[in-house]
Structure 1
Amino acid sequence: MEFKSEKIGDIIIVHVYLTRATLAKAVSFKDFVTELIKQGNVKFIIDLSICEYIDSTFLGAMVSLLKKVNTMNGDLRLVYAKETPDLVFVLTRMDKVFKIFQTLQEAIDSFAPPKPKLTWK
């Protein structure tokens, strides 16, 4: 199994079990996530933590999915556990488009509403 999903609250986590996320798997990945969107889910975390390489076609599939969930007032965030963003993210400036986190827990926490600040008068 190359893709697996789990639900935590209203967040869908899609685990990508590929070391190389390329053209060969981009269509099946997009179809997998599209089915989850059709079920009414709009908050996604794509866990790419075991991916060593992501090509532009797979990245394009993620951009397409991001646009789709954004139109539904949702969001798609990435877990990419590399010290520096992959060259494909930097060259395409997608590191500015996607919210990228080092750990799955950080990505989950990012969906939490901000805590109110106490102010004293």
Structure 2
Amino acid sequence: MEFKSEQFEDVTVVYVYLKRATLAKAVKFKEFVTELIDRGSNKVIIDLTICEYIDSTFLGAMVSLLKKINSIQGDLRLVYNKEAPSLVFVITRMDKVFKIFDTLDEALDSFGIKRSKPGLDWVN
């Protein structure tokens, strides 16, 4: 499974378990998150901790999801803790569009949620 979700109070966390988030998975990812939004999730955190590379198509899918969530007065935040942000984030200035956090705990805290249990543990 490349994508999983977990609920923390009224916030849905989507874990992206891909080393390379590219065109090949962008449509499936967008469909996965759109279904969560359509079922009522309007506060979403996308955890990209595992990702080493994000291409422009995958980034485009996240922009589309951000627009969808904004249209329902929701909020989408990212966890992406690379020391050197992905070049595609910098070139497109999307690092200024998304609220990006270094850890899931920081992102949850930005919604006023303290995690009482560890998140999903990705196992290869």
TM-score by length of 1: 0.91
**Structure 1 residue 111: Cα displacement:** 1.1
Separation in 1 of the partners of 2:22 and 2:63? 14
Matched, 1:104 2:101: no
Cα distance in 1 between the residues matched to 2:95 and 2:6: 25
Specify the SS of the correspondent of 1:58.
Answer: helix
Match of 2:2 in 1: 2
Cα deviation for residue 74 of structure 1 reads: 0.5
Task: Indicate the percent of aligned positions where both proteins have the same amino acid.
Answer: 74
What is the root-mean-square deviation in Å for CA atoms of aligned residues?
1.0
**Which runs of at least 4 in structure 1 moved beyond 2 Å after TM superposition?**
none
Task: Name stretches of at least 5 consecutive residues in structure 1 with no aligned partner.
Answer: 114-121
Q: What is the TM-score of this pair, normalised by structure 2?
A: 0.89
Aligned length: 113
What is aligned with 2:13? Answer: 13
Q: Is 1:36 paired with 2:59?
A: no
What does 1:16-27 correspond to in 2, within 5 Å?
16-27=16-27
Write the distance in 2 (CA, Å) between the matches of 1:34 and 1:28.
10
Deviation, 1:104, is 0.3
Structure 1 residue 84 displacement after superposition: 2.5
Supply the distance in 2 between the matched residues of 1:92 and 1:64 (Cα, whole angstroms).
Answer: 14
Give unpaired runs (5+ residues) of structure 2.
114-124
Alignment of 1:37-116 (within 5 A): 37-112=37-112
The CA deviation string for residues 62-100 of structure 1, in whole angstroms up to 9 with x for no partner, is 000000001111011000011122111000000000000
Note the alpha carbon deviations across 1:40-71, whole angstroms, 9 max, x for none: 11000000001000000000000000000011
Partner-residue secondary structure (3-state), 1:70: helix
Distance 1:104 1:25 in 2: 22
Larger Rg, first or second structure (1 or 2): 1
Per-residue CA distance 1:1-22 (angstroms, 9 max, x = gap): 0000000000000000000000
Instruction: Find the residue that maps to 2:4 and give its secondary structure.
Output: strand
